[in-house]
Structure 1
Amino acid sequence: MLEINMDDVIAVIQSIQTQLIAIAVALVLAIVVTVAVNKRTVENTAVRKLTHSTTWVVAAVAAIVSVAMMLMGPLNSMITMATATRYDLSQENIDAANELAVDIEREGITLLQNNDDLLPLSDAGNINVFGWASTNPIYGGTGSGALSDAYDTVSLLDGLNDAGFTTNDELTDFYTDYRSERGSITVTSADWTLPEPPASTYGDDLLANAEEFSDTAMIVIGRVGGEGLDLPTNMGDIASVAGTVEGVNYDNNSEDYADFEDGQHYLELSRSERDMIDLVTERFENVVLVYNGANAFEMDFLNDYPQIKSVLWAPHPGQAGFAALGEVLSGAVNPSGKTSDTFLTDLTTAPSWNNFGDFAYDNVEEFEVESARGVRYPHFVNYVEGIYVGYRFWETADDEGLVNYDEAVQYPFGYGLSYTTFSQEMGDVTYADGIVSFDVTVTNTGDTAGKDVVEVYYNPPYTNGGIEKASANLVEFAKTDELAPGESQTISIEFEDDDMASYDYENAEAYVLEAGDYVVSINSDSHTVIDEQTVNVAETITYDTEDNTHNGDEVVATNVFDDANGGLNYLSRADGFANYAEATAAPTDYSMSDEDKATFYNTGNYDPTEFDDPDDEMPTMNADNGLRLADLRGVDYDDEQWDLLLDQLDFDEMDEIIANAGYQNAAIDSIGKIRLSDADGPAALKDNFTGASSIGLPSNIVLACSWNRDLARQFGEVIGDMAHDLQISGWYAPSVNLHRSAFGGRNFEYFSEDPVLTGDLAAEQMLGAADRGVYSFTKHFALNEQETQRNGQLCTWANEQSIRELYLKPFETIVKADGDAQAMMGSFNYIGNTYSSAHTGLNNTVLRGEWGFRGFVETDYFSGTNYAYQTGDQAIRGGTDAMLATTETTNHITDESATSVIAMRQATKNILYTAVNSYRYENGEPESSTPMWQIATYTTIAVLGVLFVGLEALAVKRYLTRTKEAKTDIK
Structure 2
Amino acid sequence: MLGINWSDVISILNLLRVYLIVFAVLLVLAIVVTIAVRKRRTPIKKFVRRQSWIAMLMAVVVILNLVCFGPMSTMISLATGNGSIEEETLEESSALSEEIAAEGIVMMENDDSLLPLADNNTINVFGWSSTNPCYGGTGSGSMNDDYPIVSLLEGLNNAGLETNAGLSDFYTAYREARPEIGMWAQDFTLPEPTVDSYSDELMEDSKEFSDVAMVVVSRVGGEHYDLPRDMSKVTYENNSEDYNDFEAGEHYLQLSQSEEDLVAYVCENFDNVILVCNSANVMELGIADEYDQIKSVIWCPGMGQSGFNALGKILAGEVNPSGKSADTFVYDLTQSPSWNNFGSFTYDNMDEFQISEDDAFMPNALPTFVNYVEGIYVGYRYYETAAAEGLIDYGSTVQYPFGHGLSYTSFEQEMGGLQVSDGSISFDVTVTNTGDVTGKDVVEVYYNPPYENGGVEKSAANLVAYDKTESLEPGESEVITITFNEEDMASYDTYGEGSYILDAGDYAISINSDSHTVLDSETYTVDAKIVYDEGNPRSTDETAAVNQFAASEGTENIYLSRADGFANYEEAVAAPTSFSMSEEDKASFVNNSNFDVNDYTDEADEMPATGADNGLELADLRGAEYDDERWDALLDELTVSEMTDMIALGGYSTAEASGIVKVRTTDCDGPAAINNNFTGVGSIAMPSNVVLANTWNTDLSLKFGESIGAMADQMNVSGWYAPSTNTHRNALAGRNFEYYSEDGFLAGTMVANSVQGAKEHGVYSYVKHFALNEQETNRWSMVCTWSTEQAVRENYLKPFEIAVKQGGAEAIMSSYNYIGSTWAGAHNGLLNNVLRGEWGFKGMVLTDYFANFGYMDAERSILNGGTFCLSTYDTGSNYIVDTDNPTVVKAMRQASKDILYTVVNSRAYVPANLQTGLLNWQIMAIAIDVLLAGIIVILEVFAIKGFKKDNVNTLVVEDVFEGV
TM-score in terms of structure 1 length: 0.95
What is aligned with 1:153?
A: 149
Which amino acid in structure 2 is aligned with residue 637 of structure 1? Y
Partner of 1:881: 867
Per the alignment, residue 962 of structure 1 pairs with 952
User: 2:320 corresponds to which residue?
Assistant: 334
**After superposition, where does 1:899-938 map in structure 2 within 5 Å?**
899-923=887-911, 926-938=914-926
Query: Aligned match of 2:733 in 714, 719, 744?
Result: 744
- Partner SS state of residue 652, structure 1: helix
Whether 1:505 aligns to 2:466 is no
Distance 1:483 1:838 in 2: 50
Cα offsets for 1:351-371 (capped at 9, x unmatched): 000000011111221111221
Superposition deviation, residue 37 in structure 1: 5.9
Q: How far 1:337 sits from its partner (Å)?
A: 0.9
Corresponding letter in the other structure for 1:652: S
Work out the CA distance in 1 between the residues paired with 2:520 and 2:70: 66
Q: Deviations over 1:379-431 (max 9, x none)?
A: 11111111000000111111111111111111111111111111111111233
Inter-partner Cα distance in structure 2 for 1:958 and 1:167: 79
Instruction: Write the letter of the residue equivalent to 1:832.
Output: G
Q: Flag the 1:477–1:796 CA change in 2: closer, same or farther, 3 A.
A: same
Query: For structure 2, which runs of at least 5 residues remain unmatched after alignment?
Result: 960-964
**What is the correspondence of 1:456-855 to structure 2 with a 5 Å cutoff?**
456-546=445-535, 548-567=536-555, 568-819=557-808, 822-855=810-843
Offset from partner CA, 1:242-295 (integer Å, 9 cap, x none): 3xxxxxxx2222222221111111101111111211221111111111111101
Superposed displacement of residue 593, structure 1: 2.5
Task: Summarize deviations over 1:522-561 as a string: whole Å, max 9, x none.
Answer: 1111111111121110111111124x10242111211111
**Helix, strand or coil at the partner of 2:641:** helix
Query: Is residue 72 from structure 1 mapped to residue 69 from structure 2 by the alignment?
Result: yes
**What is the Cα deviation at residue 122 of structure 1?**
2.4
Kept in 2, the 8 Å contact 1:499–1:551? The answer is no
Matched, 1:892 2:879: yes
Structure-2 separation of matches of 1:287 and 1:957: 90
The one-letter amino acid paired with 2:676 is D
The separation in 2 between residues aligned to 1:941 and 1:563, in whole angstroms, is 57
Amino acid at match of 1:336: S
Structure 1 pair 924–630 and aligned structure 2 pair: CA distance change class (3 A): farther
Contact 1:672 1:925 in 2 (8 A): no
Conserved? CA contact 1:160–1:323, under 8 Å: yes
Q: How many Å apart are 1:595 and its aligned residue?
A: 2.9
Q: Does 1:265 find its partner at 2:262?
A: no
Checking the alignment, whether the CA contact within 8 Å between 1:819 and 1:852 is kept in structure 2 is no
The CA deviation at 1:77 is 0.6
Kindly report which structure 2 residues correspond to 1:78-477, keeping only aligned pairs within 5 A, or say none.
Answer: 78-85=75-82, 87-238=83-234, 242=235, 250-370=236-356, 371-373=359-361, 374-477=363-466
In 2, Cα distance between equivalents of 1:663 and 1:274: 45
Indicate if the aligned counterparts of 1:630 and 1:924 stay in contact, CA closer than 8 A. Answer: no
Tell me the number of residue pairs that the alignment of Structure 1 and Structure 2 aligns: 951
Partners of 1:258 and 1:271 within 8 A in 2: yes
| Residue aligned with 2:952, SS | helix
1:52 is displaced (CA, Å) by 4.9
User: Relative to structure 2, which stretch is displaced further, 558-567 or 807-816?
Assistant: 558-567
Q: Distance in 1 between matches of 2:35 and 2:772?
A: 62
Give me the whole-angstrom Cα distance separating, in 2, the residues matched to 1:164 and 1:35: 78
Structure 1: how far apart are the matches of 2:364 and 2:59? Answer: 35
Measured in 2, the distance between the counterparts of 1:652 and 1:272 equals: 61
Contact 1:228 1:745 in 2 (8 A): yes
| Structure 2: distance between partners of 1:585 and 1:478 | 38
Q: Which residue number in structure 2 is paired with residue 22 of structure 1?
A: 22
Deviation at 1:478, TM superposition (A): 0.8
Answer whether contact 2:121 2:316 (CA < 8 A) is retained.
Answer: no
Deviations 1:818-850 (A, max 9, x none): 447x11111111111111111111111111111
Structure-2 change in CA distance of 1:207 and 1:954 (3 Å): same
1:498-530 alpha-carbon deviations (Å, 9 max, x no partner): 111111111211111111111111111111111
When residues 793 and 422 of structure 1 are mapped into structure 2, their CA distance, relative to the original with a 3 A threshold, is same
CA contact (8 A) 1:196 1:272 kept: yes
Structure 1 stretch 123-132 or stretch 7-16: which is displaced more?
Answer: 7-16
In structure 1, C-alpha distance between the alignment counterparts of 2:287 and 2:44, rounded to whole Å? 89
Matches of 1:173 and 1:383, distance apart in 2: 47
Partner of 1:245: none
Q: Is the 8 A contact 1:511 1:544 kept in 2?
A: yes
Give the aligned CA root-mean-square deviation in angstroms: 2.0
Task: Tell me the amino acid that sits aligned with residue 894 of structure 1.
Answer: V
Alpha-carbon distance in 2 for matches of 1:799, 1:432? 33
CA contact (8 A) 2:647 2:867 kept: yes
Q: Is the 8 A contact 1:441 1:489 kept in 2?
A: yes
Please identify, of 596-605 and 133-142, the stretch whose mean Cα deviation from structure 2 is larger. Answer: 596-605
Name the SS for the 1:69 alignment partner. Answer: helix
Residue 941 (structure 1) shift:
3.5
Partner Cα separation in structure 2 for residue 958 and residue 7 of structure 1: 49
Q: Which residue of 1 aligns with 2:962?
A: none
Give how far 1:769 is off. Answer: 1.0
Distance 1:153 1:561 in 2: 45
Q: Deviations over 1:75-98 (max 9, x none)?
A: 11111111122x322122112111
The one-letter code sitting in structure 1 at the alignment partner of 2:562 is R
**Superposed displacement of residue 939, structure 1:** 3.4
Aligned-partner SS, 2:427: strand
Q: Which amino acid aligns with 1:283?
A: N
Q: Which amino acid aligns with 1:552?
A: T
Shift of 1:227: 0.9
Is residue 723–residue 755 contact of structure 2 (8 Å, CA) maintained in 1?
Answer: yes
CA distance in 2 between counterparts of 1:663 and 1:927 reads 17
Matched residue type, 1:696: A
- How far off its partner does 1:957 sit? 7.2
Distance 1:645 1:160 in 2: 59
Aligned-pair CA distance for 1:967: 9.8
Counterpart residue number, 1:247: none
1:22–1:63 contact (8 Å) kept in structure 2? no
Query: What's the CA shift string for 1:39-76, capped at 9, x where partnerless?
Result: 4xxx6877766665555444444444333222222111
Give the TM-score of the pair, scaled to structure 2.
0.96
Q: Is contact 1:124–1:163 with CA below 8 Å preserved after alignment?
A: no
Residue 338 of structure 1: SS of its match in structure 2?
coil
Q: Distance in 1 between matches of 2:38 and 2:65?
A: 32
Residue 193 of structure 1: how far off its partner (Å): 1.1
Partners of 2:753 and 2:807 within 8 A in 1: no
Q: Structure 1's 596 and 27: CA in aligned 2 closer, same or farther, altered over 3 A?
A: farther
Contact 2:755 2:808 in 1 (8 A): no
Aligned-pair CA distance for 1:929: 3.9
Matches of 1:437 and 1:29, distance apart in 2: 83
Distance 1:945 1:545 in 2: 68
Segments of 5+ residues of structure 1 without an aligned counterpart are: 243-249
Q: Residue 924 and residue 278 in structure 1: after superposition, are their counterparts in 2 closer, same or farther (change >3 A)?
A: closer
